[in-house]
Amino acid sequence: MKQSEIVKQLTDKELTKQLIFSQLLLLLLSILLSFLLFDNIAGWLDYFSLDMRDFFYYGVLTGIVIVVLDLMLMYIFPKKYYDDGGINDRIFKNRSIKGIFGIALLVAITEELLFRGLIQASFGYVAASTLFALVHIRYLKKPVLLVSVLVVSFYIGYIFVLTENLVVTIIAHFTVDFVLGMIIRFQK
148-178: pLDDT as tens digits: 889 999 999 999 999 999 999 999 999 999 9
Question: What's the whole-model pTM score?
Answer: 0.92
Contact yes or no for 177/88 (Cβ under 8 A):
no
Alpha carbons within 13 A on the beta-carbon side of 160: 31
Alpha carbon distances (Å) from 158 to 76, 131, 135, 141, 165? 26, 15, 19, 25, 11
- Residue 141 above 90 pLDDT? no
Structural domain span for residue 38: 3-186
Q: Number of folded domains in the chain?
A: 1
176-186: pLDDT as tens digits: 999 999 999 99
